[in-house]
Structure 1
Amino acid sequence: MIVDQARYRDGQRTGCQDIHAELQAIRSHRRAEAEAENATPSSAAGGDGPDPTGSGAPSSDFLWVGLKDPSTETFDRVVGDQLHLHPLAVEDAVQGDQRPKLERYDGGYFAVLRPLRYLEDTQDIESGELMVFLEEDVLLTVRLGEATPLDGLRSRLEHEQPEALAQGPWGVFWAILDLIVDQYLDIEDRVQEDLEELEAGIFSADRRVTSEQIYRLKREVLEFKRAALPLQRAMRLLLGPSSPVPMEEMRLYYRDVADHLNLVIDNTESQSRLLSDMLSAHLAQLGVRQNEDMRRISAWVGIAALPTLVAGIYGMNFQVMPELTASVTVGGREVYYGYYLAIGFMLLICLGLYVVLHRAGWLGPSLTERLRAEQERDRQRRADARGGEPQRRSSAS
């Protein structure tokens, strides 16, 4: 469907009831300007010939049409034969699922952009698609999906930045790129907050982070990279020696967008590497905790095995065992001490083995307990530092 359509001249919006009629009027006006320039004395005296855009300046009279989720029939009805859109570009715009790119076709350019949207409830990144057809006197934007940030852009340009509209289609295209890259920066800040929260949870004592959470955030970062990284090549084309941007001053604005995009890509690469390290650290901690659990189990099994061995020996029902009949006379009463001797021996070896295993670290504090103790010491050190700061200031004064 058609979202909006308007004709712009010198940054001001004018009515547009019929796309084809307005486009013909724009081109007729441009031809008239070219003919008038050809008729000037400077041209007749051997000038460089006609320049309908005014010494390389962009056209300030153009048509901006916005479509959303169009079909091939919609393209045929809206565009008709006035725009010479390449069938491959039209197919990409209708079907979607394209990588960000900038391609040149006869008479114009075709750009694919990937706007993103951060969902607060699920902490997911939703991707949309924005196709832009650029010609000298027309700009056609095609939105696919809901994550497209153009709802307020046209109104903002009309009321706050008419100078961008005065630069023609390439001025509007800069505004679109600037909006999308600024959106990337905002989403990157949100992802960084999620990453720092996960990083704190990995090394916390309550083990509140799972491998699934880390992998999920890494997947969102990869989605981010798929949107931003291919756009870097398109920006190099816009700033290269054969740049289609008509004015050097306008290229400065494109260069600023490219700088922001490079910053986004660098930070995203760092986040991806950090998430890989976090996942490795988390898995290593799980392995350490499992090893600690196995050592604890093995230690207690070893402690229980020795008294079991002693009890097994005395449970074999031999007729002659010296300790069974060993006795002493206490107060004229004969006391058999074999049972007490066996129990005491079992307790003694259990205690000795416990001391040995505890000193070896098999029965010491777990990793969780050590992390909790370390966090408590850190909090205490920070509290002591804050408490000592006023005293140092007062003594210094």
Structure 2
Amino acid sequence: MSKKRRIKTGMAPGSVIYTGNKQVDEMVIHHLQFNATSVKDSTIRKEKYLKITLEPDYIDWIDIRGMQDIEVITSISNHFKVHPLLQEGIVDVHQRPNYEEHDNAIFVTFKALFFDKSTLTVQREHVAVIIRDHSLLTFQEASSDLFEVVRKRISNSKSRVRKRGTDYLLFALLDCIVDNYYITLDQFEEMIEEIEDRISEDQNNAEKSKIHKLKKELLVLRKSIAPLREVISNFSRSDNTIIQENTNIFIRNLYENTIQIVDSIDSYRDMLNSLQDLFIAEVSFKMNKVMQLLTLISVIFIPLTFLAGIYGMNFEYIPELSYKYGYFVLLGVMFVLFVVLLITFKRKKWM
């Protein structure tokens, strides 16, 4: 448990404390207004965020990037009449993905995931979304824009999101995050295949460490993605008037995608377990080959050592010692034994 997370212990519900560690140079507040015929795009300076006005003929999407400035988060939330408990959830990055309905508003939290192949770690970013009939607030933990693809779709006059409500916009944001999960899993699979190829060629402790590291990061993936399945399920079953009937089919498709992703994670876990078994098997096989070679060398030298031992004894009368060519005969016998043993091992396919 992180130090910031422990700070909240014993505090009253609704205490707004940022529990993450991501810092941004400057908080960005992006205001996007759109309908079927027009789009208004603007970036609001931090000191002017309380002057944001909503227009009834537009869908208003206010995107806040950066969570460390609690004063700004609280002021914006109060400006849009966000419940204190929801404000607490906005900046609590350690909570699991969640779906709640409060006072004609829907509150959703989830995690954006990125896989760093150089360090074999999964980076997580906390995202909170609040939607109402004609407005949507998103809170991103980092300054980078996770939803740039959705913005480009909105700029297209023929895009479906331009003609729908905030419920479909929420679907589009979740769909963007889920699509990125597929990219993360593809990178995971590539790394698993690379490790498998290297294990087949050579076994070292570095590959064993990578397998253990990936198993731990896969657990992080599952803890972040599996609860999202419940979030989307609640989203699809909601009777809230904000959610239109024609959006449900898209949400159900998104739910199927999350099931597929969780199944893929389970498959990758099995693959890593198999890789671990393969590593142990390859190391054992390599050790067996070494032991087999040493055993064959020992078997070859046992009779040679026996002969050398006999004629190396310090008895005064050994008949062969007085023979003129006894030394060469002994070497010849040793060589014949060596060749016979080699042929025997070859025929039995021991070498």
Q: TM-score, normalised by structure 2?
A: 0.77
Query: Counterpart of 2:312 in structure 1: which amino acid?
Result: G
For 1:348, which of 301, 321, 336 is the aligned residue?
336
Deviation at 1:165, TM superposition (A): 4.5
Residues 206-258 of structure 1: CA distance to partner in whole angstroms, max 9, x if unpaired? Answer: 66993234444444444433332221111111122646752110111112222
Deviation at 1:96, TM superposition (A): 1.3
Structure 2: how far apart are the matches of 1:275 and 1:356?
A: 42
Structure 2: how far apart are the matches of 1:322 and 1:147?
A: 94
Deviation at 1:301, TM superposition (A): 2.3
Structure 1: how far apart are the matches of 2:130 and 2:178?
A: 19
In the TM superposition, 1:232-247 aligns within 5 A as 232-240=229-237, 242=239, 246-247=243-244
Matched, 1:177 2:203: no
In the TM superposition, 1:157-196 aligns within 5 A as 157-160=154-157, 163-196=160-193
Q: 1:216 to 1:92 in 2, by over 3 A?
A: same
Structure 2: how far apart are the matches of 1:192 and 1:247?
A: 37
Structure 2: how far apart are the matches of 1:19 and 1:137?
A: 18
Structure 2: how far apart are the matches of 1:339 and 1:288?
A: 42
For 1:3, which of 29, 44, 67 is the aligned residue?
29
Matched, 1:297 2:285: no
For 2:63, which of 46, 54, 66 is the aligned residue?
66
Structure 1: how far apart are the matches of 2:225 and 2:180?
A: 11
Residues 292-342 of structure 1: CA distance to partner in whole angstroms, max 9, x if unpaired? Answer: 1011112212322332232222222111222223x4xxxxxxxx2332333
For 2:208, which of 211, 221, 230 is the aligned residue?
211
User: Contact 1:101 / 1:234 at 8 angstroms: preserved in 2?
Assistant: yes
User: Which residue of structure 2 aligns with residue 38 of structure 1?
Assistant: none
For 2:273, which of 273, 276, 289 is the aligned residue?
276
Query: Counterpart of 2:87 in structure 1: which amino acid?
Result: V
User: Contact 1:128 / 1:147 at 8 angstroms: preserved in 2?
Assistant: no
Q: Which moved more, 1:171-180 or 1:150-159?
A: 150-159
In the TM superposition, 1:9-88 aligns within 5 A as 12-14=38-40, 61-70=58-67, 71-87=69-85
Q: 1:218 to 1:258 in 2, by over 3 A?
A: same
SS at match of 1:109: strand
Structure 2: how far apart are the matches of 1:322 and 1:146?
A: 95
Q: Which has the larger radius of gyration?
A: 1
Consecutive aligned runs of 4 or more in structure 1 exceeding 6 Å deviation: 15-18
Query: Counterpart of 2:253 in structure 1: which amino acid?
Result: D
Q: 1:65 to 1:146 in 2, by over 3 A?
A: closer
Structure 2: how far apart are the matches of 1:288 and 1:14?
A: 66
Query: Counterpart of 1:131 in structure 2: which amino acid?
Result: A
SS at match of 1:114: strand
Q: TM-score, normalised by structure 1?
A: 0.69
Structure 1: how far apart are the matches of 2:37 and 2:231?
A: 26
User: Which residue of structure 1 aligns with residue 303 of structure 2?
Assistant: 306
Query: Counterpart of 1:193 in structure 2: which amino acid?
Result: E
Residues 346-393 of structure 1: CA distance to partner in whole angstroms, max 9, x if unpaired? Answer: 22333333333444444x2xxxxxxxxxxxxxxxxxxxxxxxxxxxxx
Structure 1: how far apart are the matches of 2:90 and 2:185?
A: 27
Unpaired runs of 5+ residues, structure 1, are 30-59, 328-335, 365-397
Query: Counterpart of 2:260 in structure 1: which amino acid?
Result: L
Deviation at 1:109, TM superposition (A): 2.5
Q: 1:120 to 1:284 in 2, by over 3 A?
A: closer
Matched, 1:248 2:245: yes
User: Which residue of structure 1 aligns with residue 15 of structure 2?
Assistant: none
Q: Which moved more, 1:341-350 or 1:67-76?
A: 341-350
Structure 2: how far apart are the matches of 1:296 and 1:65?
A: 71
Query: Counterpart of 1:130 in structure 2: which amino acid?
Result: V
Query: Counterpart of 2:269 in structure 1: which amino acid?
Result: S
User: Which residue of structure 2 aligns with residue 375 of structure 1?
Assistant: none
User: Which residue of structure 2 aligns with residue 91 of structure 1?
Assistant: 88
Q: 1:130 to 1:82 in 2, by over 3 A?
A: closer
Unpaired runs of 5+ residues, structure 2, are 1-26
Deviation at 1:163, TM superposition (A): 4.2
Deviation at 1:119, TM superposition (A): 4.3
In the TM superposition, 1:127-166 aligns within 5 A as 127-145=124-142, 149-160=146-157, 163-166=160-163
Structure 1: how far apart are the matches of 2:60 and 2:116?
A: 34
User: Which residue of structure 2 aligns with residue 258 of structure 1?
Assistant: 255
User: Which residue of structure 2 aligns with residue 49 of structure 1?
Assistant: none
Q: 1:343 to 1:163 in 2, by over 3 A?
A: closer
Matched, 1:339 2:333: no
